Amino acid sequence: MSAILSVDDLNDFISPGVACIKPIETLPTAPPPPQNGAADPLEHEVVLDGAPTSSAPGAAAPAQISLTDCLACSGCVTSAEAVLVSLQSHNEVLSVLDGAPALQLQGPNPSGTYTVSGLENPASKFFVASVSPQTRASLAAACGHGVTSEQAGRMIEHLFMSEAGLAGGGKHNNGFTWMVDTNTAREACLVLGSDEVLSGSTAKPATPVLTSSCPGWVCYAEKAHPYVLPHLSRVKSPQALMGTLLKTTLSRLLGIPPDRIWHLAIMPCFDKKLEASREELTDSIWAGDGNPGRGVRDVDCVITSKEILMLAASRGIDFFSLSKSALPQRQPAFPDPALHRFLFPSSKTHKQQRAAGTSGGNLHYILQDVRARHPGSQIQTVRGRNADVVDYAVVASSGETVFKAARYYGFRNIQNLVRKLKPAKASRMPGGKSFGSAKRPAGKAASLEYAYVEVMACPGGCTNGGGQIKVDDQVIIDRKGLPDKPGPVEQKSWLAEVDEAYFSADEPDTAVDSDADPGDNPDNVDGIYPSRVRGALEHWSSLTGISLDKLVYTSYREVISDVGKSQVTDTERVVQLAGKIGGGW
Amino acid sequence: MTTTTTPPPIITPLPAFQPDLYQRAWASIPHPTLPLLATPHATSVTIFSLATLSKHSTLTGGHERSVRTVAWQPGARANQPRLVTGSFDATAGLWSYDGSKEKGALEKEVKFSGKDGGEGEEEEEEDWEFNLVLEGHENEVKSVAFSPSGQYLATSSRDKSVWIWEDMGGSDDDGGEWETVTVLNEHEGDVKAVAWCPDVAGRASLKGRYSADVLASASYDNTVRIWREDSDGEWVCVSVLEGHEATVWGIQWEPKPREGKFPRLLTHSADKTVRLWTLRQEEEDEVEEPSRNPWGAIPNTMRRELKEEWVCTDVFPQVHSRDVYSAAWSADSGMVASAGSDGIIALYAEDATQQEDAQMGQGANGAVPPTSRWKVLGTVSDGHGPYEINHITWCKRFDPGTERKGEEEMLVTTGDDGVVRPWQVRIP
Residue A579 pLDDT = 54
pLDDT of A501 higher than 60: yes
**Homologous superfamily of B12-111+124-284+298-425:** YVTN repeat-like/Quinoprotein amine dehydrogenase (2.130.10.10)
pLDDT of B277 higher than 80: yes
Q: How many CB atoms lie within 10 A of CB A111?
A: 7
Can you tell me whether residue B117 is helix, strand or coil?
coil
Q: How confident is the model at residue B310 (pLDDT cuts 50, 70, 90)?
A: very high
How many Å apart are CA A258 and CA A298, to the nearest integer? 8
Q: Which ipTM value was assigned to this complex?
A: 0.75
Residue A489 pLDDT = 81
DSSP code at position A282: B
**C-alpha gyration radius of chain A:** 25
Residue A472 pLDDT = 87
Residue B109 pLDDT = 36
- Nearest CA-CA distance, residue B167 and chain A, Å: 13
* C-beta of residue A155 within 8 angstroms of C-beta of residue A319: yes
pLDDT of B116 higher than 50: no
Residue B143 pLDDT = 97
Residue B259 pLDDT = 84
Looking at the partner chain, which of B90, B186, B306 has a beta carbon nearest the beta carbon of A564? B90
CB contact under 8 A, B175 and A439: yes
Residue ranges covered by each domain of chain B: 12-111+124-284+298-425
Q: Which residues of B410-426 are buried (b: 16+ CB within 10 A; e: fewer)?
A: bbbbbbbbbbbbbbbbe
pLDDT of B202 higher than 80: no
How many Å apart are CA A188 and CA A103, to the nearest integer? 29
CB contact under 8 A, B301 and A490: yes
Q: How many CB atoms lie within 10 A of CB A563?
A: 18
Chain segment A401-427, per-residue pLDDT in tens: 999 999 999 999 999 999 889 887 643
Residue B211 pLDDT = 85
Can you tell me whether residue B315 is helix, strand or coil?
strand
Tell me if chain A has a CB within 8 Å of the CB of B232.
yes
* C-beta of residue A260 within 8 angstroms of C-beta of residue A103: yes
269-288 of B, contacting A, C-beta below 8 A: none
Can you tell me whether residue B176 is helix, strand or coil?
coil
More confident: A199 or B162: B162
Phi, psi of A188 (to 5 degrees): -65, -40
Number of A to B CB contacts under 8 A, please give it.
95
CB contact under 8 A, A12 and B183: yes
How many Å apart are CA B269 and CA A232, to the nearest integer? 46
CB contact under 8 A, A412 and B181: yes
pLDDT of A288 higher than 70: yes
Tell me if chain A has a CB within 8 Å of the CB of B111.
no
Chain segment A77-128, per-residue pLDDT in tens: 333 444 555 578 888 999 999 999 999 998 888 888 888 999 999 999 999 9
CB contact under 8 A, B136 and A415: yes
In B, minimum Cα distance to A440 occurs at: B174
In B, minimum Cα distance to A12 occurs at: B183
Q: How many CB atoms lie within 10 A of CB A121?
A: 12
How many Å apart are CA B423 and CA A41, to the nearest integer? 54
In B, minimum Cα distance to A413 occurs at: B180
Residue type, A60: A
Looking at the partner chain, which of B106, B135, B185 has a beta carbon nearest the beta carbon of A13? B185
A170: closest CA among A207, A136, A127, A141? A127
- Residues of chain B with Cβ-Cβ distance to A564 below 8 Å are 89-90, 139
In B, minimum Cα distance to A436 occurs at: B133
Phi, psi of A266 (to 5 degrees): -115, 115
Task: Identify the contact set of chain A against chain B, taking CB-CB distances under 8 A.
Answer: 9-15, 17-19, 74, 385-387, 411-413, 415-416, 419, 428-433, 435-437, 439-440, 481-483, 485, 487-490, 564, 566, 579, 582, 584
Q: How confident is the model at residue B428 (pLDDT cuts 50, 70, 90)?
A: confident
Residue B321 pLDDT = 96
CB contact under 8 A, B179 and A385: yes
Q: Which residues of A210-220 are buried (b: 16+ CB within 10 A; e: fewer)?
A: bbbbbbbbbbb
- Residues of chain B with Cβ-Cβ distance to A387 below 8 Å are 232
CB contact under 8 A, B133 and A566: no
Query: Dihedral, CA atoms, B382, B386, B389, B394, nearest 10 degrees?
Result: -30
Chain segment B1-48, per-residue pLDDT in tens: 555 566 666 899 999 999 999 999 999 999 999 999 999 999 999 999
Phi, psi of A230 (to 5 degrees): -65, -15
In A, minimum Cα distance to B177 occurs at: A437
Query: CA-based diameter of chain B, in Å?
Result: 77
pLDDT of A446 higher than 60: no
